[in-house]
Structure 1
Amino acid sequence: MCTSIHEVQDLFGTNYIEEGYNKLLQHYVAGNKSPELLWRLARATLEMADLDKNQQKRRELILEGRTYAIEGAIYDENNLNTLKWAAVATAYYSDFLWETEKIEECKKSIDYTLKGLQINPDDHVLLFMKGRWMLYFCGLSSLEKEAVNHIFHLTGKEPKVSVGQAQATLMKAYSIEPRHLPTLQYLALCWLSQGDRSMARYYLNEALSMKVEGCNLHVQAECAQLLRQCV
């Protein structure tokens, strides 16, 4: 077992993330439930999910990562990293849900995102997450929007968003970290939703020009698929 959870830091975003996951899991099994371990274990598990091409296994890994992430956010709700990875994990898991359950899970992601941005308004991952869910709400059907209004009714914070707002949020994330592939992917989706394939191609080509490994290969493959729709 590695002596420090910080030893796995260089394995994030690489092809060796499984090694980092196994080391962190040893600490967890041994009884370490510290927030600093939990957000790292959540991140490692989600990166493992992005590397797995089996959809059922991917779903299981995301659910596992969600468990660690939420546990970490419960233990320390003022920790930027626990909030960040809880936001990411719940957003990932919402992709496997339908209708009301999907929107309820998305609301959890929004809550974590906004809490995290209160701590650091310039965190590019959280800004990406905010732009991501803003764009998602822009594409809902009328029936889905009714479900959103119902779910958000008690909070009085129903999301009133536009593609332009989503794009502006994503551009802020891009200005902070231009090499974040998911941000490039969603900027392209914003332009596509506005009918501008040329600008969509610009961001997709930028994403595809990067030399990446690990979980970023999954995002890059999605960008390549999206680019084929921009001809």
Structure 2
Amino acid sequence: MHLPIFPNSANSFDLIDFPYETHKGERAVLLLQGRQVQILEKLNGLVISVEELKREVTFLKEAIPKLDELVRDELQGKTGSRRTSPLHRPAKKRKVEAAAQGVSDTTSSEEAESEGGYITAHTDTEGESEEEKGWINSSISSLTPEEKLVLQEVDRLHGGSEHEKRESFKLLLEREEQYRNHPGFLWRLARAYGDMFELTADADEKKNYAAEGKLVGENAINLDPSSAESHQWFAVMCGYLSQFETIQNKIRNGYLFKEHLDKAVALKPQDPLLYYLTGRWCYEVAQLSWIEKKVAAALFGTPPTSTIHEALQNFLKAEEIHPGYSKYNYVYLAKCYKDLGQRSNALRCCETALSILPVTNEDQEAEKILETLLPSLKL
């Protein structure tokens, strides 16, 4: 999006009432000075960006020499306590209490809250499809009857209202120690952290939920690398956490997001949510500026690459698997078509998106995007 950051100083000089006898050369000097001010302001912004990059590079240089030691400690089990401390565990009691208090049950749009911040995009009021239920049931098939009942109750609550999501989170926390070696339990806990991330507006709480959820998702993957859900929710947590990270960690989490999303797609190729998330990643990467790509290359060797066409193919795949999958999916289809110069297709997708009744918070956000997108397509 282009923003008129700097005022047009040259035009403002044109409005000055110069005396008739003012020499043209003097006027040209004044105009030149105005342009020089613009250039200096831009250079100042660039210097600030370079200084930030220098600080990031300095941080990396200080961390790299300690990498071998950290890896050795990890392999020797010296960092095992990390799982129960840093800045997340002390807040857990508070989270449990908040979950226990919950909020009044409601039939508002909060009831259809999405699965994590990257939007489940489901508009099907009947909940999960039979295929999705099969994936969920297969992940608990090896558990005892009691354990199955617990996870089935967790899944039921997760699909309910805001209050029920909080109850699901509370139930999982109460049994975390008991089921800490069950990947099917852990990815559900990571998913619940995603729910709590969505349900709070406090930035610190969001960061804690995302960080804790990422750690839990990582543990789930370590226990069962063949679990699509573990890879999926770990990826989503990486996406959430990147909102609060330094530039190098944002980029690192972006790589992790795509890596584990690809693994989830390979394990569960008929889930439209995974293609929608991949499309979002492709679209965002295609919009990266030259300097952002250079920063990624400097920090990690190879910058992420994608195109609007690749994003479009993923959104179309989600629609193919689940026609009418979501309002947001149509919005991004429209944005891709617009960027590719296919205005008629973009308008058609906008009209389809408008025909879907807003149910979730994300649907309402999609409505706002449509309000700004449609006028540009009708010019």
Q: TM-score range by the shorter chain?
A: 0.7 to 0.9
TM-score (norm 1): 0.82
Quick check: 191-200 or 19-28, which moved more?
191-200
- Within 2, Cα distance between the matches of 1:171 and 1:109? 20
How far does residue 39 in structure 1 lie from its aligned partner after superposition? Answer: 0.7
TM-score (norm 2): 0.53
Structure 1: where are the runs of 5+ without partners? Answer: none
Classify the secondary structure of the residue corresponding to 2:209: helix
- Within 1, Cα distance between the matches of 2:157 and 2:165? 5
Q: Residue 174 in 1 paired to residue 319 in 2?
A: yes
Q: Residue 55 in 1 paired to residue 208 in 2?
A: no
How far does residue 192 in structure 1 lie from its aligned partner after superposition? Answer: 5.1
Find the counterpart in structure 2 of residue 229 from structure 1.
372
* Contact 1:38/1:69 (<8 A) preserved: yes
How far does residue 109 in structure 1 lie from its aligned partner after superposition? Answer: 0.8
Q: 1:44 aligns with which of 178, 192, 206?
A: 192
How far does residue 92 in structure 1 lie from its aligned partner after superposition? Answer: 2.2
Find the counterpart in structure 2 of residue 162 from structure 1.
307
TM-superposition CA deviations, 1:17-47 (whole Å, max 9, x none): 1111111111114453311011111112212
Q: Residue 97 in 1 paired to residue 245 in 2?
A: yes
Quick check: 107-116 or 196-205, which moved more?
196-205
TM-aligned CA distance change 1:200 to 1:180, over 3 Å: closer
TM-superposition CA deviations, 1:137-187 (whole Å, max 9, x none): 10111011123334553xx7x543210110111110122133345534533
* Contact 1:187/1:203 (<8 A) preserved: no
Find the counterpart in structure 1 of residue 351 from structure 2.
202
1:33-182 alignment runs, 5 A limit: 33-151=181-299, 153=301, 159-177=304-322, 178-180=324-326, 182=328
Task: Name which one, 1 or 2, has greater alpha-carbon Rg.
Answer: 2
TM-aligned CA distance change 1:22 to 1:136, over 3 Å: same
Structure 2: where are the runs of 5+ without partners? Answer: 1-145
Quick check: 92-101 or 69-78, which moved more?
92-101
How far does residue 188 in structure 1 lie from its aligned partner after superposition? Answer: 4.2
TM-aligned CA distance change 1:29 to 1:83, over 3 Å: same
* Contact 1:45/1:61 (<8 A) preserved: yes
Specify the code of the residue in structure 1 equivalent to 2:367: A
1:173-192 alignment runs, 5 A limit: 173-177=318-322, 178-180=324-326, 182-191=328-337
Quick check: 27-36 or 1-10, which moved more?
1-10
- Within 2, Cα distance between the matches of 1:114 and 1:29? 30
- Within 2, Cα distance between the matches of 1:64 and 1:182? 27
How far does residue 70 in structure 1 lie from its aligned partner after superposition? Answer: 1.7
Specify the code of the residue in structure 2 equivalent to 1:4: V
Specify the code of the residue in structure 2 equivalent to 1:223: A
Q: Which has the higher contact order (CA 8 A, sep 6+)?
A: 1
How far does residue 200 in structure 1 lie from its aligned partner after superposition? Answer: 5.5
Q: Residue 20 in 1 paired to residue 168 in 2?
A: yes
- Within 2, Cα distance between the matches of 1:147 and 1:199? 38
Find the counterpart in structure 2 of residue 32 from structure 1.
180
Identity %: 24
